[in-house]
Amino acid sequence: MNLVKDNPTAISEIVNLFDFERLAAEKMTKMAYEYVASGAADEFTLRWNRQAFNAIKLNPTILTDVSQIDAGISLLGLDLPYPILIAPTAYHKIMHPEGELATVRGAGAASALYVVSSFSTTPLEEIVKAATQPLWFQLYVRDDRELTKALIQQAEGLGFRALCVTVDTPVAGVRNRQDKARFALPEGVNTPHMPGGLAEKKPFTWKDIEWIRSFAKIPVLLKGILNPADAEKAVEAGASGIIVSNHGGRNLDTVPATIEALPRIVEKVNKKIPILMDGGIRRGTDVLKALALGATAVLVGKPICFGLACGGAEGVTKVLDILRHELEVAMILTGKATIAEIDESVIWK
């Protein structure tokens, strides 16, 4: 089954991440595009994720020595060349026939860390074989805890370097636009590590985080925190990191943009553990703003899916290369030669 329409436009003509989405809308099936692009309910949060970034103004500093730029960071034992990770997103084979194999090759070419989704349409073993950069694994805790434990231990055995536990989805959000597109996996596409999907409602509490930490041998990050009180609990629960996320605006509509929530969580955590964030990032200036407000790194999801749809591995690499280049340009133009130098001074008050 052809899941992506042929289109003569070459990705060589693409110059920014918005171009990728426009081209993807032409190339992808309507069902696949609506799955990636849509949000929950009236999509206020989906729009706010972008609008909040746009509303933040930058405060440049001139005549500083930015002849040598270093965008590298250290994160949970890894040295990364730049602070942009691939966020976990599901069902890559509805975007490109090679699915997650194309994504992991694109990540490798861009020297990026890829967080693989539980809802991968490719077995983890195959993804690992194709990987040339570190991998993290995103986990949905299932109602069957033994299956969950086995999946965590499988990921550890395959060499995944950290576990990102999604904590904001005890039930899926109200996704009207996705439902109108009649979303369903095409014949022949399945999720080998999540057979049957998630239970409609599942008990999932802080005790489960304690349970995971009791046997997990790799760092455990909690993905989906917006409330500063929850961030404080995450530190107390022994989380190795937090991912500030509103699930790309796909779960509970009218929650704040992640870049708005970030400073409150940074203040509460007070540098005890790394804080990452996702949601709405489309420009290198967005990455700079997130770092200035206290994020250690960011993750991008929807743009990676659109890049994958437009050009497979090459499209994924180009998304990351564009963002990295734009970040480095923004660093130069705000007078910051290293990531460590980026702070709130680059934000116009």
> CB of 252 within 8 A of CB of 167?
no
Phi first, then psi: give them for residue 80, nearest 5 degrees. Answer: -110, 140
Strand partners, 223: 166, 243
DSSP line for 261-280:
HHHHHHHHHTTSS-EEEESS
- Mean of per-residue pLDDT scores for the chain: 95
Q: Is the pLDDT of residue 302 over 80?
A: yes
Confidence of residue 9 (pLDDT cuts 50, 70, 90): low
Q: For residues 208 and 214, what is the distance between their CA atoms, to the nearest angstrom?
A: 10
What is the extent of the structural domain holding 109?
A: 23-186+209-346
- 260 pLDDT more than 50: yes
In a domain, 197, yes or no: no
The reply to whether 182 falls in a domain is yes
Residue type, 324: R
CA 133/CA 197 separation, integer angstroms: 28
Q: Is 149 exposed, middle or buried (0-12, 13-18, 19+ CB in 10 A)?
A: middle
Residue 60 covered by a domain: yes
Please tell me the predicted confidence (pLDDT) of residue 319. Answer: 98
The structure's pTM equals 0.95
- Enumerate the active-site residues: 247
CA neighbor of 44 nearest in space, from 177, 149, 154: 177
Q: For residue 194, is it within any domain? A: no
Q: Is residue 14 part of a domain?
A: no
| pLDDT at residue 6, as a whole number | 43
128: CATH: 3.20.20.70
197, 10 Cβ separation under 8 angstroms? no
pLDDT in tens, 36-66: 999 999 999 999 999 999 999 999 999 999 9
pLDDT attached to residue 11? 85
Q: Are strands 73-75 and 78-80 parallel, antiparallel or unpaired?
A: antiparallel
Instruction: Provide the domain count of the chain.
Output: 1
| Residue 330 maps to a domain | yes
Q: At 113, is the pLDDT very low, low, confident or very high (cuts 50, 70, 90)?
A: very high
Q: Residue 177 corresponds to which tokens in the numbers above?
A: 């636009």
Share of residues in the chain with pLDDT > 90 (%) = 91
DSSP string covering 110-150, please? TT--EEE-TT-SS-HHHHHHH-SS-EEEEEPPPSSHHHHHH
For residue 222, tell me if it sits in a domain.
yes
Inter-residue contact 121 to 99 (CB < 8 Å): yes
Q: CA–CA separation, 92 vs 164, rounded Å?
A: 18
C-alpha to C-alpha distance for 138 and 89, rounded to whole angstroms: 9
Q: Among 89-103, 160-174, 197-211, which stretch is predicted with the lowest mean pLDDT?
A: 197-211
- Assigned domain for 17 exists: no
- Residue reference for tokens 């590298």: 72
Categorize the per-residue pLDDT at 8 as very low, low, confident or very high, splitting at 50, 70 and 90: very low
